[in-house]
Structure 1
Amino acid sequence: MLKIKSLSCALIIGLLLASSYSWAATTDKNKLPQIGTSGFSVLSIDKERQIGQAMMQQVRGSGTIVNDPVLIEYINDLGNTLVKNAQDVNYRFEFFIVNNQELNAFAFFGGHIGIHSGLITTADTESELASVIAHEISHVTQRHLARRIEAQSRNQPLTMAGIVSGILLTMINPAVGMAALSTSMAASQQMGINYTRGNEQEADRVGITLLANSGFDPLGAPNFFGKMLERYRYSSKPPAILLTHPLPESRVSEARIRAQNFPLRSVPPKLEFELAKARIKARYEGDKKYNIEHFTHAINKNRYAFLAAAQYGLALSYFEDKSYDKAYTLLMTLLKSDANNLFYIDALSDVLIELRKFEQAEKMLADINLLMPNNQVAALNYANVLLEMGKLDKSAQVLQDFLLMHPDSFIAYDLLTTVYRKQDKKALMHVSKAEVMALVGAYPQAIDELQTAMNYADDLPIVRKRIKGRILQLQDQQDKLRRLN
């Protein structure tokens, strides 16, 4: 697993609303806009993209995202399996995981969808997890955010400045964010619940259809609803997802009726889903000693759908406990049965670095990078191993090639900054560091880094021209962001 430093930035953005918020009740539903026709009078698709990008920068800067290439790859593969069967897709969707054990998921402008790690580990099947993602995709494709803003603009001026700072905080950490929002949202509570209820019903209907059309079990949605409802029926503190997605029993029954309208489908368990759950538990939840006991017990009692997933979780737990030889033995056994499995390759890369088996790691990753060019797990781990070996020029080349195809890769720019620092290429180091800053929306700091880079680029005329051009681009992006407020 590649570990990078987290950056924080206070980026205040206007006109932003989260799809998942609910407030006091109302019964007047006559003003619900027509599907596919609403929202455009207030926000164009292009403006939604701009706002979504700005929000995503703030999320990156919060330091709560799981910057884990394997899990990023998994959740985007799953999400895009659903997106390719969705209607009215106006954006390139981006899926990400928030390191939070609360059960929650959320969507915002521009096709950005966040899933809390706790929701993934709580789902029993991939269809249950996919049902939540399909629901959030439906919030985006039905333009529920724009529709809510349009409705609010009819009833009162759009004075959102007082609530913006709490919006993303509420999505990412509901317990803290709700307190931040409570004093600011009173004026729009009545309107909010009306749209929440209507939007939730619509997202359920569209999401279950999307789930079925994408090859998943449509019963995954009501099964997950029912599980949550039963688990927290008598709880004084419901999970975040029930705070942000109200779940009356009628909604569960309606979802089950909708799901039963589709043909029965038996979807077999999926190894990648179980591996993702094991990875989150071993690396982001619990104590390493406890996790070793947990996975050992699971293996002995055959508690996992796949033995390989429990063994993988145990190997990761051994790694966290610095028992590298035990982790190596388990991972080599797993890799023999599934040579191109990126979950295993990523974990083994870390182990081989700790055991200083650099040549073995380099060969493994060179082969997989050739087989899967521009795959983030293969490329970033390969570059990291080359960096550890001191093969800095080759590491930089791998990262530069990767960034041509993935210009928004936070991890790649962070690694490249380290490579340039070790090469004593100060101009390029500051340029790369500026891109890290820009990805979290810290434009003034990014421009400062580029201006510093100019001081070290006197004998690099091409680099100086590129720096000047990039400064102008970032200043333009900064101006666009100001105009959104």
Structure 2
Amino acid sequence: MKKYIFIIFFILWQVLPASATLSTTEEKKLGEKFFVEVKKFLPLIDDPIINNYINELGQSLITQLPSKSFDYHFYVIDDPTLNAFAGPAGYVFIYRGLFLAFENEDELAGVFAHECGHVICRHIAERLESSKKISIATLLAILVGGIITRSPQASQAIATTAMGAGTALSLSYSREDEEEADRTGLKLVSGAGYNSKGTVTAFKKLARLSLESGGEIPAYLLTHPALPQRITYLEQAMKSAPYRNIDRDQTKFRIAHVRLRALYTDVDSASRFFSASIRENSQDFINYYGLGLCAVRKRDWQDAAANFKKTLSFKPDEPIILRELGISYFHLNKFSSTISILKKLPQDAQSLFYLGRAYQEQGSIDEAISSWKRCIKIDPDYSMAYYYLARTYADLPVAVAALNNPDPGQKAWSHYYLGIYFRLEGKPSQANYHFKKALSLARDEDLKRKLRQILNEK
């Protein structure tokens, strides 16, 4: 681990200013480097439904600001730790464990708003500026080291090694920082129409979980101190802080919450959880949805379809559930049912991908190609859509290919799409081979220009 920390130390040192003052422009550059390093060491949830939801929630908070210095980005880390943190320049993270500890959107919004408060108040920048005995780069090496190891003991060891002078530095925010972030967070949740009591209940849960942890302090409390006092402070502040309490539909929160449990925790434990919940309340749609997702992980498509159909008996027009049913039907070789469902849904990359697969299985090649092209237009990183485009163009008769693309040399398009597929899969040598092959076969001038540009970037 130490060698990685020194690499991070060096990268961050290169983008930091020589002076102790961090401008917003400099913080943006630092935030970008910070995020690159976080992605190397922390597993981020890669689920469009979850990611779209948390960013929609986060942006609803940030839009309350009259102006903003940074673009804000929100992520879930696939880890059971009870933690959340904000990095430089608006990169905000919550761990799966903490997300699953919450019961409603107001609690989640409260924690996100608090972390945004640290960014808005520029507490990271202030800590850099106020550091007199250590360099800015060292402080950031400590911060990243603590995040990577999730261990305060390891963080302290890294700090001592990085500084070389044995200077100790706490990663905790000050009491003043916390209260300022609390006040700012309350304004954000109130302005966005969330119940500000959710912030208090979220912090009370953290306090309770810390007592139930057998002496092991949750990671969140290691960097966010004085929680009991802050709860009292928040309860007093709420008495004089009016808020617009909108009766929000919790469906999006519950779907994201269930997806985290069903898709990212132990599948057998998750199945038992949802089955027990159904025994307690057989009329709650969300637990059938959870069982369906668990069946998907087990590739039991019959059981998945049955549970999604049961879910739809409560939520007949929910696009996310309909999509899951359509995909399940595809795996059951019910291609007409897949097409009937997916072609009516709002367009998203996964629906379009499976719609294309179903059309392909039925021999409707033009419709398949059209679906996959729309898929990659929505999500340019959807690698399997390129793979099936490549396969399809390789097998197409020239006359049919001409209907979909002006270049009758469809083999060039096959190699082009295969090159993109391999590039997205992290195989540059295979990608380069197919791009060169495509260039040698291409007849279309636009495709030739595109391929030359790609090859010149290598």
What TM-score do you get using the length of structure 1 for normalisation?
0.74
Partner of 1:419: 388
For the pair 1:254 / 2:236, whether they are aligned, the reply is no
Cα 1:87–1:454, aligned 2, differ >3 Å: closer, same or farther? same
Alpha carbons of structure 1 residues 321 and 191: separation in structure 2 relative to 1, 3 Å: closer
Taking a change above 3 Å as real, the CA distance of residues 106 and 467 of structure 1, as seen in their structure-2 partners, is farther
Equivalent residue, structure 1, for 2:375: 399
> 2:254 aligned to 262, 269, 274, which one?
274
1:233-312 → structure 2 map (5 Å cutoff): 233=211, 235-263=214-242, 265=245, 267=247, 270-288=250-268, 290-302=269-281, 307-312=284-289
2:126 paired residue number: 147
| C-alpha distance after superposition, 1:180-200 (max 9, x if no partner) | 432232459766457544332
Match of 1:313 in 2: 290
Mapped pair 1:183 → 2:157:
yes
Alignment correspondent of 1:33: none
Q: Kindly report the root-mean-square deviation, in angstroms, between the aligned alpha carbons of the 2 structures.
A: 3.5
* Change in 2 beyond 3 A, CA 1:471/1:144: farther
- 1:155 to partner: Cα distance: 4.0
Given candidates 415, 423, 427, the residue that maps to 1:434 is 423
Alignment of 1:223 with 2:193, yes or no, is no
CA deviation string 1:351-402 (max 9, x = no partner): 2232122232233222213xxx5xxxx2333224424654552343113321
Task: Mark the CA change 1:467 to 1:251 in structure 2 (over 3 Å): closer, same or farther.
Answer: farther
**Is the Cα contact below 8 Å between 2:102 and 2:108 reproduced in 1?**
yes
- Answer whether contact 1:275 1:309 (CA < 8 A) is retained: yes
Which structure has the greater CA radius of gyration? 2
Q: Which stretch has the larger CA shift, 220-229 or 337-346?
A: 337-346
Q: 1:247 to 1:95 in 2, by over 3 A?
A: same
- Residues 91 and 255 of structure 1, relative CA distance in 2, 3 Å threshold: same
Cα separation, partners in 2 of 1:295 and 1:196, compared to 1, 3 Å: same
- Identity of matched residues, %: 21
C-alpha distance in 1 between matches for 2:298 and 2:424: 34
SS at match of 1:183: helix
* Structure 2 equivalent of residue 455 of structure 1: 436
Distance in 2, Cα, partners of 1:195 & 1:272:
32
CA distances 1:270-323 after superposition (whole Å, capped 9, x unpaired) = 1222222222212211332x43332222122129xx711122112223333444
Q: 1:14 corresponds to which residue?
A: 11
Equivalence map 1:24-43=2 (5 Å): 42-43=21-22
Deviation of 1:463 (Å)? 4.2
Q: CA deviation at 1:133?
A: 0.8
Q: Normalising by the residue count of structure 2, what TM-score does the alignment of the two structures yield?
A: 0.78
- Which runs of structure 2 are paired with 1:165-180 in the superposition (5 Å)? 167-168=143-144, 170-171=146-147, 174-175=150-151, 178-180=152-154
Q: Which moved more, 1:424-433 or 1:274-283?
A: 424-433
In 2, distance between residues paired with 1:132 and 1:302? Answer: 29
Is the Cα contact below 8 Å between 2:352 and 2:372 reproduced in 1?
no
Distance 1:151 1:380 in 2: 48
Give the direction of change, closer, same or farther, for the CA distance of 1:53–1:363 in structure 2 (3 Å limit): farther
Q: Tell me the secondary structure at the aligned position of residue 110 of structure 2.
A: helix
The answer on 1:331 being equivalent to 2:320 is no
> Which deviates the most, 351-360 or 261-270?
261-270
Cα deviation for residue 43 of structure 1 reads: 3.6
Secondary structure of 1:91's aligned partner: coil
| Cα distance in 2 between the residues matched to 1:169 and 1:362 | 49
Q: Which has the higher contact order (CA 8 A, sep 6+)?
A: 1
Contact 2:329 2:338 (8 Å CA) reproduced:
yes
Contact 1:222 1:259 survives alignment (8 Å):
no
Letter in 1 for 2:383: D
What is the aligned length?
A: 414
The 8 Å contact of residues 138 and 206 in structure 1, kept in 2 or not, is answered as yes
* In structure 2, C-alpha distance between the alignment counterparts of 1:363 and 1:58, rounded to whole Å: 44
SS at match of 1:15: helix
List runs of 5+ in structure 1 lacking aligned partners.
1-9, 17-38, 438-444, 476-485
Alpha-carbon shift at residue 206 of structure 1 (Å)? 0.3
Letter paired with 2:267: D
Task: Call closer, same or farther: CA 1:90–1:335 in 2, change over 3 Å.
Answer: farther
Question: SS in structure 1 opposite 2:44?
Answer: coil
Q: Which moved more, 1:230-239 or 1:126-135?
A: 230-239
Q: Aligned pair 1:111/2:93, yes or no?
A: no
Deviations 1:389-436 (A, max 9, x none): 545523431133214xxx6xxxx3433443355356334433454356
- Counterpart Cα distance in 1 of 2:418 and 2:22: 38
1:202 and 2:189 are equivalent in the alignment: no
* Preserved contact between residue 352 and residue 375 of structure 2 (Cα < 8 Å): no
Structure 2 match to 1:29: none
1:381 is aligned to 351
The structure-2 alpha-carbon separation of the partners of 1:90 and 1:432, relative to structure 1 and needing over 3 Å to count, comes to farther
| 1:158 partnered with 2:136 | yes
Give the whole-Å Cα distance in 1 for the aligned partners of 2:42 and 2:383: 14
Shift of 1:344: 0.9
Alpha carbons of structure 1 residues 467 and 244: separation in structure 2 relative to 1, 3 Å: farther
In 1, the alpha carbon distance for the partners of 2:20 and 2:425 equals 35
Post-superposition CA distance 1:78-115 (Å, at most 9, x none): 11221211354233322221111111112223422222
